[in-house]
Amino acid sequence: MKNSVLLVLLLSSLISTYATGTLTWNSNSVWVICAGGTASVTADVTGVEDEKINYGITGGIWTNLSPGVYDVTASNPECTSIAGQVIVTGISTVTISPSSPVCVGATVGLTATLSPTNGSAACVAWAGALSGSGLGVSGALTAFGSNTITATCGNQVITVVVIAVGISNVQYSCNGTWYDMATLRMKLGDTLSVRVNPNPSWASFPTGQPIWSGMASATGATATATFNAVSGSDTDLKTVTVTLCSDVRDFPNFLVCNTILGIHSNMKKGDQDATFANGHAWITKHVYSAASTSTIIHYGLWPDGHNAIFGTALDNGSGNDTRVDINQTNFTTGKIAHDPDSGAYNRYFLLSPSEVTSLNTYTAENRTWGYFNNCASFASGAPPGDASASDWWGISTPRKFGKSIYELNSTDPTGLSTPKHHYLKECGGGTTGSTSSETDAPSSTWEDIYGSFDH
């Protein structure tokens, strides 16, 4: 019995020593494939009669695998097993820099994150608005709107959409309506709401874009422009600039003015039965230093023979009959000579720098009152006024001047806050203004206050 046991042990030792073979992988121990791809795992065996190798899967063919790391083993009953790996590459995420939306024409970079992270970048291909291969792709997006880009890794496809936005148009707000940018006449201190519309219209702008400068200072789609610098000439136009990334839009569209001309008559439409000598007409110049702060200068043509002036210090003989800021009461006659801030009918004009120069020249001229050179002819001739005072035989009268102002304001109204040429007046097609205080009822005080046949 003892001899039999020893024989068995000896035979086992001989088999172990002389019958064990060797397993080796044909290439390396790691196979990297793309998602859904195929890995053929092969090994060689030597030193054994039975060369059959077990890979844990039929024929060692690994196919249609989801992304991940798979352990593989090659074994033979007479060999020591060897281990390897199949790495199936996929994409877990795609990041965009800068993030959508972006400015049209901007350079955008897309980067794929592999899963597993030790997968192969060679599996990734890009197509669509940007194309290429590898972990990342970059380039300029020149198409407005949705730019579709796909990242493909084997049978895995990830689609991303990047919105590229540009400037459609730039507008300003006037009386509750938005208008495309135009050349506008502003009063010193005015503020103006402006906006830039995106292309495409449904898109949003990138964070912090666009950027406003010039008379406006803000970021985003809307801004408020403040006009606090007077134009020195008719060509000194103030600018609002909007910048969207590299797209710079300048709008040198704004003539900032600080002077308003007012033309006035104390005779109403219903006063047409008054005589040529009744009533008064004059002008005012409103010079602004801020939005609501102005100095008013009054100009009127008054003769020395007026019963409020004759025999007073204002009776200057052959001197200039254009009176500035007159407020004279003759206590002997009880009559006054006064040019108030406004009259029964009024019309207003926002003046350009050249028009201010013309008006200053006009008011500085030396005038002598006469029947064909009276207060109404003076007021109607002030540039750039548009009301006529011409009455019978070519004589200018306050009654015709008042009637002309009334009729002009009925179709083309003006006000001190909406003077002619001001953007608030012009954007509505010339229909904005106020005539609420201008009725056609006759005056009851013109003769009592101003006297008769005097100017």
Architecture of domain 91-164: Sandwich (2.60)
- Specify the higher pLDDT residue, 2 or 397: 397
Return the amino acid letter for 44. Answer: D
What's the chain's average pLDDT? 87
- pTM strictly above 0.85: no
DSSP annotation string for 41-54 = --EEEES-S----B
- Specify the higher pLDDT residue, 51 or 81: 81
DSSP 8-state code for residue 169: E
User: What confidence tier does 41 reach under pLDDT thresholds 50, 70, 90?
Assistant: confident
Return the amino acid letter for 259. Answer: T
- The confidence score (pLDDT) of residue 16 equals 41
C-alpha–C-alpha distance, residues 271 and 391, integer Å: 13
Burial 375-384 (b: 16+ CB within 10 A, else e): bbbbbbebbe
Are the CB atoms for 399 and 271 separated by under 8 Å?
yes
* φ/ψ (deg, to 5) at 359: -65, -45
- SS3 at position 29: coil
Tell me the two tokens of residue 449: 């206050």
Residues composing the chain: 455
Highest average pLDDT, of 61-65, 128-132, 334-338, comes from: 128-132
- The confidence score (pLDDT) of residue 455 equals 44
Are the CB atoms for 263 and 382 separated by under 8 Å?
yes
pLDDT of residue 290 exceeding 90:
no
- Which residue shows structure tokens 């599996």? 123
Strand partners, 126: 132, 151
Domain 166-257 = CATH 2.30.30: no
**C-beta neighbour count of 165 within 10 angstroms:** 27
Element at 327 (helix H, strand E): strand 327-330
Are the CB atoms for 380 and 401 separated by under 8 Å?
yes
For the chain, helix (H) and strand (E) counts, in that order, are 6, 29
- The confidence score (pLDDT) of residue 420 equals 95
DSSP annotation string for 247-293 = EEEEEEEEEEE-EEEEEEES--GGGTTS-TTSS-EEEEEEEESSSS-
- The confidence score (pLDDT) of residue 273 equals 57
C-alpha–C-alpha distance, residues 247 and 227, integer Å: 24
User: What confidence tier does 58 reach under pLDDT thresholds 50, 70, 90?
Assistant: low
Q: Which of 27, 58, 30 is nearest to 43 (CA)?
A: 27
In tens, the pLDDT along 251-280 reads 999 999 999 999 999 987 655 555 666 789
DSSP 8-state code for residue 185: E
Cα distances from 165 to residues 221, 366, 447, in angstroms, run: 12, 63, 69
